Chain A
Amino acid sequence: MKHFTKALLGAAAVVALMAGPSVAAEKAEVIHWWTSGGESAAVKVFADQFNAAGGEWVDAAIAGGEAARAAGINRIVGGNPPTAMQFNTGKQFEDLVAQGLLGNLDEVAKADGWDKFLSPVLVKAVSRDGHYFAVPVNIHSNNWLWYNTALLEANQIEPPKTWDELFAAMDKLKAAGVIPMAQSGDAWTQVLLFNDVLLGVGGRDLYLKVYGDNNVEAVKSPEFAKVVETFGKLREYGDPGQQGRQWNQATGLVVSGKAGFNFMGDWAKGEVIAAGLTPGKEVGCVPGIGNQVYWIGGDVFVFPKTDNADAQKAQALLAHTMLTPETQVAFNAKKGSVPVRGDVDTSKLDACAQAGLKLLGTENGSVPGFDFLQTPDKIGSIQDVIGQFWTTPSQAPADLQAKFADIIATE
């Protein structure tokens, strides 16, 4: 009931803000790929808030980011665009901006004061040439180390704080006959692991030089060689069942005590909670092992350009609704991520999220995820070489380093 009242208040605020509120519901068809249980619950927050604000949310959920994006982009090409569609934060929607197919959100951004509550990293991620083209809705952090508390205690292992401690701990687990590190066979999880090592062993500066500046010398440096070597060493701690295993099954191995450690983003919490456990208790978390720096990602919504005045109204209303403090808190609590607004109450979040938020709050405590910095094309090539290296135990680290340098060197 309290939630409902809050929603009503939010609606009243919106009506006051919007010039000339119309009586008729503004229809907004939204393409997104949030179809799992927790994700649907999160989308429902958007839909409810939008409906309460006088809009009419028309849900177009399509599982799989690729399929959803293909459907959305083709509808834009076919001249029948959706009111809004989801993208990952990053360069995915850059071409749409370049082609002039996205609506400019400067008006809403100015009215709501986006630059006051969005972090500079996010402002940069959603604007091009000083204009806003997307609404960021959440922040996910990618480099978490999850561990099974009981399993570690049984083997007299302290939660590791450095990479050396981690390797020592995994050697113990290996000797004890359990899987030291649960790893998925999906290429993106191998890349996630690599970037965790790059940030944890190589550090913030190296990460930004490699991905931000495309600095080939940085890739050829001894520091990067150490990163690749550490990543290569990790290959010995996986198990033969990883091919075909999905990320949630890998996390599940830690949850069930069959494996000690798992590198995964903060969304892994969902798996812990689904198993009836508490993140930070039965399954512990170490944020940003090694260098205490986060690399962050998230989702945005874009609003394809349209001449229809009603659709434009709906777009403005939706963009506004998604970023109100009420929506942000409720949405991110369901999604397992962190609100994009720095000015909302986060005291209800769990222990791991609190630890993460502290990092986010410090200067230099976070870097943009590599999909903010690199094109999907280059990310794909990086994924290919890392996946190949990870699954070929005989491949030398120097070989990966050379291939990596070639990719960074291309346009």
Chain B
Amino acid sequence: MASLTANAPVEPSGPRPKRIGPGRYGVYAFLIISALFFLIPLYVMIVTSLKPMDEIRMGNLFALPGSPSFDAWIKAWSQACTGLNCNGIHVGMLNSIKILIPSVILSIAVGSVTGYALSFWRPKGANILFAILLLGAFIPYQVFLYPLVRILSMVSLYNSIPGVVFVHTIFGLPLMTLLFRNFYAGIPIDLFKAARVDGGGFWAIFLRLMLPLSTPIIVVAAILQITGIWNDFLFGLIFAGRENFPMTVQLNNVVNSSFGEKEYNVNMAATILTALVPLFVYFVSGRWFVRGIASGAVKG
């Protein structure tokens, strides 16, 4: 049966449209209607972020702002207060990036190697390892907090960036492993057997054959991890230490202040600003969906 093969197409692979006909309009109609459904909340957020508070209190949720103003955006970025520090949410951005990059790379690296070893090599105990990992993926993170704080302070990683990177790697492992293991399950075993016959070792096959084939799944894994780690609040708060608080801690401070007036326009602006990094990644990742398969194609 046709499956994921080495010479997969470069372009979208759906059936080639015959002509611009009613079917084409149907496709676009479906996509546009779905897009509208997905965009409603974003519309409300943007519109709200451009309104002054009086208009938000009185006005219609869906109405366009009377006199749009970017004050809320400026305030969210550089003036909103976290306790006594009024520097906006941009303060944590660098910390977020410092946490994000090593965490994403490390978790994908460990996850892909684990998935590869589990899928093709299946050494003794592999099934048990995989079963525990899968089970672990279903436990609420909060349960891990106390023991992990103890473990990390024992190895002097508590309250540091390496500590929080380590935590992200731990919690990323089940899903990363699963993702890569299932992806490799779709690759014909014959490909692997042929490479073995050619004398390929564990790492040679992984680096030269499997990794280039894995681009689409790496994109998916990266989307998952970038979003998860970027939006993480709990681990950053507990494990990173006050000097290294990620952006989400500031976002939470701006948004979740329990008493006093809520500045909804600032909240909306702060949320969109915080999401810009993952959004940018999503937008460019599309290219990799397509190009990755092209460059990674193993001819023959």
Contact = CB atoms under 8 A, between A and B. Distances in A.
A touches B in complex, CB < 8 A: yes
Interface of A: 29, 32-40, 43-44, 47, 57-65, 67, 70-71, 74-75, 77-80, 246, 248, 252, 256, 267, 270-271, 274
A57 B84 CA distance: 10
Interface string B251-274: 011111111111000000000000
B263 to A, nearest CB: 9
Contacts of B196: none
A221 B238 CA distance: 47
A80 B261 contact: no
A78 B252 CA distance: 23
B149 interface: yes
B298 interface: no
Contacts of B255: 63
A77 B149 contact: yes
Given A38-B260, A39-B259, A59 B84 contact: yes
A79 B157 CA distance: 12
Nearest to A60: B242
Given A78-B150, A80-B158, A43 B260 contact: no
Nearest to A34: B83
A401 B1 CA distance: 67
A246 B83 contact: no
A64 B252 contact: yes
9 closest residue pairs by CB, A with B:
A61-B83, A36-B260, A36-B257, A63-B256, A78-B153, A63-B253, A35-B257, A59-B84, A78-B149
Nearest to A68: B237
Contact of B82 (A35, A80, A248): A35
30 contacts: A32-B83, A34-B83, A35-B256, A36-B260, A36-B261, A39-B260, A43-B84, A57-B84, A61-B83, A61-B85, A61-B253, A62-B252, A62-B253, A64-B258, A67-B233, A67-B237, A70-B145, A71-B237, A74-B146, A75-B159, A77-B146, A78-B149, A78-B159, A79-B153, A80-B158, A248-B259, A248-B260, A248-B261, A252-B57, A274-B260
A104 B145 CA distance: 28
A80 B159 contact: yes
A395 B89 CA distance: 46
Interface string B50-87: 00000001000000000000000000000001111100
Nearest to A65: B258
B56 to A, nearest CB: 11
Nearest to A35: B257
A267 B149 CA distance: 36
A78 B152 contact: yes
B108 interface: no
Contacts of A33: 258
Contacts of A271: 261
A37 B261 contact: yes
Contacts of A58: 242
A35 B81 CA distance: 7
A233 to B, nearest CB: 29
A270 B146 CA distance: 37
B149 A74 contact: yes
A35 B149 contact: no
Contact of B260 (A74, A256, A270): A270
Contacts of A70: 145, 237-238
A62 B237 contact: yes
Nearest to B82: A61
A67 B235 CA distance: 11
A202 to B, nearest CB: 28
B83 A77 contact: no
B176 interface: no
Given A35-B257, A39-B257, A63 B252 contact: yes
Contact of A36 (B145, B149, B259): B259
A40 B253 CA distance: 12
A59 B85 contact: yes
B249 interface: yes
A304 B233 CA distance: 24
Listed residue (B83, B150, B153, B249) with the most chain A CB atoms within 10 angstroms of its CB: B83
A61 B261 contact: no
A28 B262 CA distance: 29
B258 A63 contact: yes
